[in-house]
Structure 1
Amino acid sequence: MADERHIRIEGDAAGNIIITGNANRIEVMPGMRTQEPEAPAIVSAIGPNPYVGLAAFTERESERFFGREQQTALLWQIFRGLYTDVPEASPGQTTPVRVLPILGPSGSGKSSLARAGLLPELAKRPLPGWQTSRVVVVRPDAHPLEALAVMLARLATREAAPVAKTREFEEELKRRNQAGDYDGLRRIVDALPGIDTSPLIVLVDQFEEIYTLCQDTTERDQFVANLLHAAADRSQHLSVVLTLRSDFLGQTQQHPDLNRLIAAQGVIVPAMSSAELRDAITKPAIYANPPLDAATVDLLVAETDGREGALPLLQFALERIWEGMAHGIPPAETLRGIGGVGGALASEAQRLYDRLTPEQQLVARRAFLAMIQLGEGTQDTRRRVEIADLVAHAEEAEHVRHVLRTFAGRDARLVTLATEMDGTDWAEVTHEALFEHWADLREWLDRGRTDLRFHRRLTEAARNWQEQGRPDGSLWRSPDLDLLQAFHRRAGDDMTAGEVEFMSLSATKARRAWRLRWLAVIGLIVLTLAAGGMAYVAQLSSRQARVAEIRAERRFNDVRELANSFIFEFHNAIKNLAGATPARELLVRRALTYLQRLSQEAEDDLSLQRDLAASYLGIGDIQVSTGNVDEAAKSYQQGLKIFERISQANPTNVQAQRDLSVSYDKIGNIQAATGETQGALERG
């Protein structure tokens, strides 16, 4: 349906938004489909609610986006200049970079200005030579390269979830060219059909997520480098619009080129004037019918003007006022009931929370905390979370969804539910204003930050373990396992089924490894004592054996050291006794059996590996003294292999190099004694 500003907004079957106007067409490809709340059953005498609450305005709501006409015109003029104010190329001249940064504090309306202001304006007033343009909206999240690759793959294939093409594009984005530049984005865009006549705009919304959510600095750098390289290409196939919270300007110094661009080309979104606020309040109501009364408008302007981050609070209050009008409640009465513009959000959140059962309140608390990214020297920010990660191990997914829908309903929309094109369901707090103003949520945050940080680390570890094929090497060991088990005792009900399984298998592996190590060590001691005729050890009562086991568990390292020394000291004590050779040979055979079993559990323990290697060399010495030179060579080789692995893992470790040298000497001595002169010389 056409509006007074001469544009037409429609959606296609794939969920894209088509804006047409003045012989121009802009296709906007959003990252997700928002799950719209169910319409109320009541039949209202007034028009549909024209206010968006905490959510940002998008292209779909542009006909209700008022009060920012001056800023929209300014953005259009600056964006136009990125394409038209390009000097002729000359030697040594730097190519202009088509990046438009839109900056402002939380709640200033950056995203709304970009999506409901600039993009529709480009449809209404196309740039010279533009007839069609394409826009991909990218939220960086924890993996910005993947997020960008997904949108590019969808654009290139027109498929909802092109998995193979996404992987291909992600690899392209990670690759440098011969000059050392990350030019993957430029190459991908250059290959898009019709790119010469249909340029691409990459709108990176909430750019600060590359610093708050992305923990991989390499991926972060590659993402920024790809954007800047493609935006500087003289083909003018691509431009970048990004929205960034101004309190994250300091973080952009990690990328000096980007930081300088922001300083030179960034647009700071100013606070709305009283007149602009009045337009934002009154004009949508006129569009929907009926208009708000003058007294209510004056009060809303007075409570909003000059208040930082107040725009989402104003929209939320207006949304509640309109809902009240639909039920016949006067605006002034609704405004008093919700505590004015400043109190509306907190009172509504508390009202919905108090309606829940105690069990549902636990779900709500866990979900809201999970949807907050804890600031490290910066303010906390919102965080998108896969709904599956909000389901604790003893819960049903539908139970969690029901609680989330309570806060995502049409009369609240404190939480936004969305679905990716591959069917993955996500949830996020609609605006940071929620945890800035809701007292209970702030208290939960202040009380549980340490556990929250640990839980995030656990979630990431469990997810990586699953994605890597569940290898034993990715399971946790002490001290991480000890911390995890303590966390489980405190907050086990908040852990997902995958996290509980990760903990359980980590503990199982740790117990199995300890038992095998303990059995091997105790076996060596028992065998050594038995070889000396001390058979009474085998007759210990079960109670005594348990006491011995507990003591061995507490002092495993002492027991291991005892076994390693005792077996060889015992051998040295009996080696010159008449008739001791059979006992010595039995000692060697059984010791090798236990060493082989122990070596299977020593892969991740360098200290245990070194003890094993030293034991193999010691066994080899005994075998040489009993005349079993061939077997001694095998034992020496076994010890050498272990020492080589240790050396490769610690190439600068002096002790590891000494151990290697000792192994080479022993093998060289055997080769020399058996006539393998060449091998001995090579070892030497």
Structure 2
Amino acid sequence: MVDAVVERLVKDHFLVVHGDSGSGKSSLIAAGVLPNLEQGVARGGARWRTCSTTPGQDPLWNLARAMAGIHASAPKVSELRSALNFGRDAAVALAKLLRRDTDDHFCILFDQFEELFARGQDSSEAKLVAELLIGLHESRVAGLYAVLTMRSEFLGACARFRGFAEVVNECQYLLPAMDDADLVRAIQEPMTLYGGVVEQDFTEHMIAGSASAQDQLPLIQHGLMHMYCRLPPAGEPSSGGKPTGPRKLSSGPGGCASLGELLSRDADDVADAATKSIAHVPGTSRVVEDIFRALTDVNADGQAIRRPQTLAQLVATTGAEESVVRVVVDAFRAESVSFLRPYGRGQLSLEQRVDIGHEALIRCWRRLAEPIDGWLIREFKNGLVWRSLLVQADSFDKNESSLLSPQATEEREKWLKRRNQAWSERYGGGWARVQKLVEASAQRAAQDRRVQLDLDVKTQTAKVYRIVALAVSLLALGALILAGYAWRARREEQQAYERELEARSAAAAEQKRTEQLVSGLRQLTADTTDNDLRPKLEGLIASSKTGSTPPSSLVPVSDVPSPSPAPVIATAPRLYIHYSVPTQREAALQLGQRMQGKLVGSAPVEVPAARMVKYQGRNELRCFRKIDCKASAELRQQLGAQLKTGVPALADYSASYENSTAMRPGHYELWLTPDAL
């Protein structure tokens, strides 16, 4: 394969080697073709010098710097850069500057040539590079050769530059897949150059662990480096104490089902170690993620690709300190890691580009490639969010009422805290416009919240007022109903009381008239001398005693004077005893027991309670209704018989309580002085 490429290159002076990502294009040229040329194998002793470059952001300057380092007496970078401005004649100019004699041959490797197409067909530098290669092929300039590597899917992009597609068609070399024999040689032979041995079992393990992967060669390379870095140096004692022989790879990496898993695990280890080393700096927990999100992208076909950035751009995009970014980048480009390039320990300048070593890392590192929540898909989604904000900002510029919703505003404010202006340039810029949109939306949201809060307070207050008004209305209605029932009950009781009082008064009056009649009849009987009249009068007296109605013709009842009826107690009186000193308690209780059940008129007295009160005054019986006050004489007389101080005075409170529903008819209170009992 190397010989075939060398033969084509020498014949056409220009060769395009293309194939899938991970097919070994760069390895074939850098580790096979260029060393073969430098060693002068089958070249008739010709002196070959080689250099390598990538287009990057400054393809012409990168090429000039690479050629200036070919040998000590090479022209200055500025001279070589000026020669590249000659278009298709640049190849002739470069040959004159580089060749010292006819034995000098120079071969330039344009690695990752697809980076040139990222600049677009209007880029003057990209056109000059294409013109240089077209002129090199057409003129077959003696001593100058060029080979470029690129992925096959970019072949169509070569048509962007006039005449370049025709040259590529004549000079392309599609890299065939390596068979097992080629893979065995690629794994075992490099080790022999350094006095080591790769055993067959290990080789088969490497091939099997990468057989189904797109990035077979990069994965095998990483697996070899992983195992080689863990071997003890030749001649040093092993763990058993015996000196080891030549360094030997005899067993595959343990704990991993595939080389892709091994790469992902090693990348995790480097990331964790780097994060731990910068943990003392606040806000650095996601610097590794931010760096790799900046170094990767998704193309129009949905494929993950590399996105080289200068160190200064990484510092600006991540927002981290330069020293922090350097620690992370250096950890991933160390010689035993090589996930980022430029490889090695040399300090990078801020203008040097940092790039992912191979796209196998993008596809195999789970943290980066996980399809649901990997770093790459997160960055892609964030780019969509930013572009949607730019569209909204355009609408806001035209109409200031075109704002974000309150919920979207809150989400975007939090989201923007991890973004900055440098990051936004990746997706079209407009940082100030988006900030203005979000700030205006936040102000409107705050205003809406205040209005809503005021409305909620008013609504709640009105609701409370309605509830209170309803409660008061219900209470008032309940009180009115209860008052109505109480008034009705009191009225009915009062009416019944008055009817009973009238009936008793009428009965008493009738009894009095009967007694007066009997007394008059007795007097007439005693005074009469008429023997015929005497039996009749005695009959009338007997009839009066038995309740019979006397003949009105015999006795002129109307002539008998009728005295005024005396008031009587209509309902059972209730007597509440109030004593004024503690020593009266027993005597007051005994008084209550003696009065309990005594008849006043025809009603028994009830004594519900006796209690002590602070009282200074006279012994008095208090009544609260006029009718009760009129009927209190008999009760006062009975109380007078029980008290040391005689009959208590009557205290009439009917003026204040006549219509009160709190006092039932027949309610009396006995208030006693300390000397009453």
Tell me the TM-score normalized by structure 2.
0.50
The structural deviation recorded for 1:266 is 1.7
More helix by share: 1
8 A Cα contact 2:202 2:249, kept in partner: yes
The structural deviation recorded for 1:509 is 14
- Asked if 1:427 corresponds to 2:354, the answer is yes
Out of 310, 333, 346, which is 1:386 matched to? 310
Alpha-carbon distance in structure 2 between the residues aligned to 1:455 and 1:154? 43
8 A Cα contact 1:103 1:244, kept in partner: yes
8 A Cα contact 1:271 1:306, kept in partner: no
SS at match of 2:178: coil
8 A Cα contact 2:197 2:249, kept in partner: no
The structural deviation recorded for 1:241 is 0.8
Alpha-carbon distance in structure 1 between the residues aligned to 2:81 and 2:190? 43
CA deviation profile, 1:542-561 (whole Å, cap 9, x unmatched): xxxxxxxxxxxxxxxxxxxx
Alpha-carbon distance in structure 2 between the residues aligned to 1:209 and 1:138? 11
- Pairing of 1:356-375 with structure 2 (within 5 A): 356-357=275-276, 359-375=283-299
Alpha-carbon distance in structure 1 between the residues aligned to 2:412 and 2:71? 46
CA deviation profile, 1:91-115 (whole Å, cap 9, x unmatched): xxxxxxx211111111111111112
Partner residue in 2 for 1:266: 172
Q: Aligned partner of 1:436: which letter?
A: R
Task: Kindly report the root-mean-square deviation, in angstroms, between the aligned alpha carbons of the 2 structures.
Answer: 4.5
SS at match of 2:146: strand
Partner residue in 2 for 1:238: 144
Partner residue in 1 for 2:268: 350
Alpha-carbon distance in structure 2 between the residues aligned to 1:504 and 1:252? 33
The structural deviation recorded for 1:353 is 2.6
The structural deviation recorded for 1:303 is 2.8
Unpaired runs of 5+ residues, structure 2, are 240-247, 388-395, 438-677
Structure 1 residues 447 and 394, CA gap change in structure 2 (3 angstroms)? closer
- Asked if 1:116 corresponds to 2:46, the answer is no
- Asked if 1:445 corresponds to 2:376, the answer is yes
Q: Which has the higher contact order (CA 8 A, sep 6+)?
A: 1
Out of 326, 335, 338, which is 1:413 matched to? 338
Alpha-carbon distance in structure 1 between the residues aligned to 2:347 and 2:331? 21
- Pairing of 1:587-602 with structure 2 (within 5 A): none
The structural deviation recorded for 1:298 is 2.3
Partner residue in 2 for 1:395: 320
Alpha-carbon distance in structure 1 between the residues aligned to 2:434 and 2:366? 42
CA deviation profile, 1:479-499 (whole Å, cap 9, x unmatched): 9xx99x998973454547898
The structural deviation recorded for 1:148 is 2.7
Structure of higher CA gyration radius: 2
Q: Aligned partner of 2:29: which letter?
A: A
8 A Cα contact 1:346 1:437, kept in partner: yes
The structural deviation recorded for 1:378 is 6.2
- Pairing of 1:527-538 with structure 2 (within 5 A): none
Structure 1 residues 423 and 388, CA gap change in structure 2 (3 angstroms)? closer
Alpha-carbon distance in structure 1 between the residues aligned to 2:253 and 2:171? 41
- Asked if 1:336 corresponds to 2:217, the answer is no
8 A Cα contact 1:206 1:243, kept in partner: yes
Partner residue in 1 for 2:523: none
Alpha-carbon distance in structure 2 between the residues aligned to 1:447 and 1:187? 48
Out of 190, 194, 197, which is 1:291 matched to? 197
Q: Aligned partner of 1:72: which letter?
A: V
Tell me the TM-score normalized by structure 1.
0.50
8 A Cα contact 2:95 2:141, kept in partner: no
The structural deviation recorded for 1:143 is 3.1
SS at match of 1:391: helix
- Pairing of 1:212-251 with structure 2 (within 5 A): 212=118, 216-251=122-157
8 A Cα contact 1:144 1:214, kept in partner: no
The structural deviation recorded for 1:421 is 10
Alpha-carbon distance in structure 2 between the residues aligned to 1:303 and 1:192? 45
Partner residue in 1 for 2:55: 140
Partner residue in 2 for 1:319: 225
Partner residue in 1 for 2:163: 257
Alpha-carbon distance in structure 2 between the residues aligned to 1:351 and 1:397? 22
The structural deviation recorded for 1:399 is 1.1
Alpha-carbon distance in structure 2 between the residues aligned to 1:433 and 1:509? 37
8 A Cα contact 2:310 2:354, kept in partner: yes
CA deviation profile, 1:559-583 (whole Å, cap 9, x unmatched): xxxxxxxxxxxxxxxxxxxxxxxxx
Q: Aligned partner of 1:405: which letter?
A: D
The structural deviation recorded for 1:158 is 5.4
8 A Cα contact 1:339 1:347, kept in partner: no
Alpha-carbon distance in structure 1 between the residues aligned to 2:140 and 2:350? 38
Q: Aligned partner of 1:389: which letter?
A: Q
Partner residue in 1 for 2:109: 203
SS at match of 1:336: coil
The structural deviation recorded for 1:76 is 1.9
8 A Cα contact 1:390 1:400, kept in partner: yes
Partner residue in 1 for 2:9: 79
Aligned length: 398
Structure 1 residues 144 and 489, CA gap change in structure 2 (3 angstroms)? farther
Q: Aligned partner of 2:63: which letter?
A: L
8 A Cα contact 1:345 1:434, kept in partner: yes
SS at match of 1:267: strand
Structure 1 residues 413 and 338, CA gap change in structure 2 (3 angstroms)? farther
CA deviation profile, 1:462-517 (whole Å, cap 9, x unmatched): xxxxxxxxxxxxxxx969xx99x9989734545478989x9999689999xxxxxx
Alpha-carbon distance in structure 2 between the residues aligned to 1:201 and 1:193? 12
8 A Cα contact 1:186 1:226, kept in partner: no
8 A Cα contact 2:68 2:75, kept in partner: no
CA deviation profile, 1:120-144 (whole Å, cap 9, x unmatched): 2123345767633333322111332
The structural deviation recorded for 1:237 is 4.1
8 A Cα contact 2:15 2:147, kept in partner: yes
CA deviation profile, 1:285-313 (whole Å, cap 9, x unmatched): 44445534433322222233464321110
Structure 1 residues 169 and 366, CA gap change in structure 2 (3 angstroms)? farther
CA deviation profile, 1:38-65 (whole Å, cap 9, x unmatched): xxxxxxxxxxxxxxxxxxxxxxxxxxxx
SS at match of 2:16: strand
8 A Cα contact 1:185 1:226, kept in partner: yes
8 A Cα contact 2:332 2:340, kept in partner: yes
8 A Cα contact 1:383 1:428, kept in partner: yes
Structure 1 residues 196 and 313, CA gap change in structure 2 (3 angstroms)? same
Alpha-carbon distance in structure 2 between the residues aligned to 1:276 and 1:159? 37
8 A Cα contact 1:415 1:429, kept in partner: yes
The structural deviation recorded for 1:204 is 0.9
Alpha-carbon distance in structure 1 between the residues aligned to 2:413 and 2:126? 33
- Of the structure 1 ranges 337-346 and 183-192, higher mean CA displacement relative to structure 2 is found in 183-192
Structure 1 residues 161 and 446, CA gap change in structure 2 (3 angstroms)? farther
SS at match of 2:355: strand
Alpha-carbon distance in structure 2 between the residues aligned to 1:384 and 1:305? 29
Alpha-carbon distance in structure 2 between the residues aligned to 1:334 and 1:121? 31
The structural deviation recorded for 1:381 is 2.4
Q: Aligned partner of 2:118: which letter?
A: T
SS at match of 2:139: coil
8 A Cα contact 1:139 1:204, kept in partner: yes
Alpha-carbon distance in structure 2 between the residues aligned to 1:325 and 1:379? 37
